[in-house]
């Protein structure tokens, strides 16, 4: 009988998190702050208790859940699509940014900035039905390799953040992605990679049109933007898709600042965290001057407001599930 009691006690202790829920985090301030926050909002007797329905946590994707260097992975997807589609678009030989891209001159192709990017994204993302696009993404994500590490892109997920997602969900948080990346680009693999179902993915969104083709209903992706889910667009995306203010927000760049600001401004306990890329050896080191994932104003705000900043080099025991760099 005593042995049974012991086994039962052990099972309960594990269920309540006596086992380390964040083994890839060093025991530094960010890990302690995360655990202290989760404990205070989940303990019934706590003055900071938050009912499960209101435990909304939002995560940026690029640079927060997975890497974003040397280019946003969705852009690498788009460039691969340009190459694959080129035979059907002879006109691209004489039209920028496609001509430079197909000659392998990425720098010239992107010289046009946002306008060039827009053309590349529209050419590769619109026109398909949502089912066709989903298949294209699934094929790419299953096979394409990162130019530096040679890993599948879904292997370039941050292991500490994956543990954090699981830890929050074990404490009855609902975890959402709120990303500047395309909503239809993330949904096909977010559930198996992050445990986040499609209805909890918020992202930049294009127009959609419902139509019946040969008696079969389809939804077609249109070349127009209905949500640019970046900067001021992030609180808008949160309101449109979630409809209530998160109590915890996780980002890594100035593009996430308004999301953290909106989260922090709510009543009651709030948690805001920035991932700071400080690890040139295991990942990349960049912040105020970077063209991708620039973290400048956000770093100052985090200090001013007392938000948690993860120093990737010091605070993460392990970066990727498979260390490859």
The residue (of 235 and 298) whose beta carbon lies closer to a copy of itself is 235
Contacts 24+ apart (CB under 8 A), 183-189: 183/229, 184/125, 184/130, 184/133, 184/134, 184/137, 184/221, 185/74, 185/77, 185/125, 185/137, 186/61, 187/134, 188/134, 188/137, 188/138, 188/141, 189/137, 189/138, 189/141, 189/154
The residue (of 110 and 137) whose beta carbon lies closer to a copy of itself is 137
Min CB(239)–a copy of itself separation in Å? 5
The residue (of 29 and 242) whose beta carbon lies closer to a copy of itself is 242
Check: CB of residue 206 under 8 Å from CB of residue 225: yes
The residue (of 97 and 180) whose beta carbon lies closer to a copy of itself is 180
Min CB(230)–a copy of itself separation in Å? 11
The residue (of 148 and 303) whose beta carbon lies closer to a copy of itself is 303
Residues that bind a copy of itself (CB under 8 A): 53, 56, 130, 174, 176, 183-184, 187, 191, 197-201, 205, 208-212, 216-217, 219, 226, 232-236, 239-244, 258, 261-262, 265
Min CB(136)–a copy of itself separation in Å? 16
The secondary structure element, H or E, covering residue 183 is: helix 183-194
Residues for the chain: how many in total? Answer: 325
- Of 142, 230, 122, 238, nearest to 189 (Cα)? 142
Min CB(258)–a copy of itself separation in Å? 6
Of the chain, the end-to-end C-alpha distance in Å amounts to: 52
Min CB(318)–a copy of itself separation in Å? 28
């Amino acid at each position: 009988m005593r042995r049974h009691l012991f086994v039962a006690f052990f099972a309960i202790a594990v269920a309540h998190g006596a086992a380390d829920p964040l083994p890839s985090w060093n025991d530094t301030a960010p890990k302690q702050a995360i655990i202290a926050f989760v404990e205070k909002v989940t303990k019934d007797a706590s003055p900071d208790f938050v009912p499960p329905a209101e435990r909304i946590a939002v995560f940026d994707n690029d640079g927060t859940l997975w890497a974003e260097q040397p280019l946003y992975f969705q852009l690498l997807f788009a460039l691969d699509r340009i190459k694959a589609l080129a035979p059907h678009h002879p006109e691209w030989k004489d039209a920028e940014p496609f001509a430079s891209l197909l000659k392998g001159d990425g720098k010239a192709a992107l010289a046009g900035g946002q306008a060039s990017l827009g053309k590349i994204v529209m050419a590769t993302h619109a026109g398909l039905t949502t089912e066709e696009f989903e298949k294209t993404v699934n094929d790419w994500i299953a096979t394409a390799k990162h130019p530096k590490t040679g890993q599948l892109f879904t292997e370039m997920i941050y292991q500490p953040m994956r543990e954090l997602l699981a830890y929050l969900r074990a404490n009855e948080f609902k975890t959402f992605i709120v990303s500047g990346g395309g909503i239809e680009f993330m949904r096909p693999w977010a559930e198996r990679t992050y445990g986040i179902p499609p209805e909890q993915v918020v992202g930049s969104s294009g127009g959609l049109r419902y139509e019946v083709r040969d008696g079969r209903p389809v939804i077609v992706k249109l070349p127009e933007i209905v949500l640019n889910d970046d900067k001021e667009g992030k609180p808008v995306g949160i309101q449109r898709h979630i409809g209530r203010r998160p109590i915890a927000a996780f980002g890594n760049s100035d593009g996430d600042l308004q999301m953290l600001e909106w989260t922090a401004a709510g009543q009651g306990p709030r948690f805001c965290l920035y991932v700071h890329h400080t690890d040139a050896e295991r990942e990349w080191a960049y912040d105020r001057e970077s063209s991708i994932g620039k973290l400048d104003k956000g770093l100052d705000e985090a200090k001013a407001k007392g938000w948690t900043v993860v120093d990737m080099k010091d605070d993460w025991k392990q970066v990727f599930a498979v260390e490859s760099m």
